[in-house]
Amino acid sequence: MTITDLGLRPYPVGDSSIRRMALEARGLGYDSLVAVGVPPGDYYGVAVREGIIIAGMPAKDAAAKAKRAADGRLVMVRAGDNGFNRAMIGVRGVHLLCGIEYAHRHAFDHVIAKMAADNTVAVDISLAPLILRRGPARQKALDRYRDILMLSRKFSFPLTLSTHADSVLSMRSVREVSGLAATIGFDLDEIEQALAFAGSRHAGSTPVREVP
């Protein structure tokens, strides 16, 4: 099983280089990373694959951008309203719906859940709100994630667990991620599947080049 953290935003968006983040990831127990805006490579034995986050545009434009994405990228679309999410789940080339914690509760319903299962599109559970927020804001994210987890159990669409870190200071070990996921209600098998999804979606994709 390949254990992957995804949605990382290295320098120049964040304040840590991809090399530094890969070195940190190796010590934290990861085999691979999906990072936004960097070419694929292998750093210190950690496979880095390129991800793209599509956000802030109408469904038609987002669908076109997803279809144009280069082979080998992990295509993530930021969740919107119910109609937008329903449209995106059905687009060939979309791998993952992210930012669900910011969407309205009814933006992801049982109809979209079934579509996600049929199309093997994952819903990302970003742990950043649980790491960075406190009080009601943190509780709101927990409640939203528990709703998604229940829908996943009912309809069998995949989930991912991620940190979306923009710095090594925001990265967390596999053990810490597992602990936070358990707080949401994930069991051990669900944690393992969520950490492995991004790696499995890249099986057979463009080989990752080793970076000296």
Question: Residue 210 corresponds to which tokens in the numbers above?
Answer: 């080793």
DSSP the chain: ---EEEEE--TTTSSS-HHHHHHHHHHHT-SEEEEET---EEETTEEEEEEEEE-SS-HHHHHHHHHHSPTT-EEEEE--SHHHHHHHHTSTT--EEE-GGGS-GGGS-HHHHHHHHHHT-EEEEE-HHHHH--HHHHHHHHHHHHHHHHHHHHH---EEEE---SSGGG---HHHHHHHHHHHT--HHHHHHHHHHHHHHTTTSSPPPBP-
Question: What residue spans define the domains of the chain?
Answer: 4-201
Of 199, 203, 209, nearest to 6 (Cα)?
Answer: 199
Q: Read off the DSSP letter of residue 210.
A: B
Q: Which fold has domain 4-201?
A: TIM Barrel (3.20.20)
Q: What gap in Å lies between CA 97 and CA 55, rounded to an integer?
A: 10
Q: What is residue 201's predicted lDDT score, i.e. its pLDDT?
A: 64
For 6-52, write each residue's pLDDT tens digit. Answer: 999 999 999 999 999 999 999 999 999 999 989 999 999 999 999 99
Q: If pLDDT is split at 50, 70 and 90, which confidence band does 148 have?
A: very high
Strands 96-98 and 41-43 come out as unpaired
Q: What is the chain's alpha carbon radius of gyration, rounded to the nearest angstrom?
A: 16
Beta-carbon-side half-sphere exposure of residue 100 (alpha carbons within 13 Å): 30
Average pLDDT, the chain: 92
Question: 105 pLDDT exceeds 90?
Answer: no
| Predicted model pTM | 0.91
